[in-house]
Amino acid sequence: MAEDPIRVLFVCLGNICRSPLAEGVFRSLVRARELENRYLVDSAGTGAWHAGEHPDQRSVEVARRNGVALSGHARQIEAPDFADFDYVIAMDRQNLLELRTLARSPQDEAHLHLLRDFDPEPGDGQVPDPYYGGPDGFERMYEMVNRACAALLDHLEEHRLDRTTNEK
């Protein structure tokens, strides 16, 4: 019997820089490990300012240079997302706080995590918003996101194996 896919939603402020990059990186890592049937991945923003827009060109460029394709359009997180996704991954503490205010129940809150909580080099635990900075901020963001997404995927696969082993 096939398992239901793990559903992961990455969230930043406007859904044009950090969260679409995290979505693209995570998809790329999943594809490289041939695990596409195990994951559904999306991204959203806590705000609606950029709804319908493509990812920021600087995020697209840093992703392209690293072999990652970004697609999709910005959207704002909605209440049903908490039920639709197993993991709602915030890029920073402010977004996490905003997500907690949107959560309708303890079950909703149980889905919330900071991306860098999975990072083996968590620093201050946040992926800084590079929007108002230069290209080097996007490079640093990519490095953090790539490292944290790889660790997140490792974590999810370890828990999948633990769950499978315990069910036997």
CATH number at residue 81: 3.40.50.2300
Per the CB < 8 A criterion, the answer to whether 144 and 117 are in contact is no
pLDDT (mean) for 142-167: 86
When mean pLDDT is compared across 45-49, 136-140, 164-168, the lowest value belongs to 164-168
97: domain range? Answer: 6-167
- Is pLDDT of 111 > 60? yes
Instruction: Name residues whose C-beta falls within 8 Å of residue 45's C-beta, 6 or more positions apart in sequence.
Output: 11, 12, 13, 14, 15, 16, 19, 51, 74, 75, 76, 77
Is 146 domain-assigned? yes
Is 54 domain-assigned? yes
Is 111 domain-assigned? yes
Categorize the per-residue pLDDT at 156 as very low, low, confident or very high, splitting at 50, 70 and 90: very high
Write out pLDDT tens, residues 24-79: 999 999 999 999 999 999 999 999 999 999 999 999 999 999 999 999 999 999 99
Categorize the per-residue pLDDT at 106 as very low, low, confident or very high, splitting at 50, 70 and 90: very high
| Predicted local confidence at residue 162, as pLDDT | 67
- Is pLDDT of 136 > 80? yes
Average pLDDT, the chain: 94
| Predicted local confidence at residue 72, as pLDDT | 92
Is 35 domain-assigned? yes
- Is pLDDT of 1 > 60? no
| Predicted local confidence at residue 155, as pLDDT | 97
Structural domain total, the chain: 1
Residues with a catalytic annotation lie at: 12, 18, 129
Per the CB < 8 A criterion, the answer to whether 41 and 75 are in contact is no
* Beta strand ranges found along 5-67 (DSSP E): 6-12, 39-45
Is 135 domain-assigned? yes
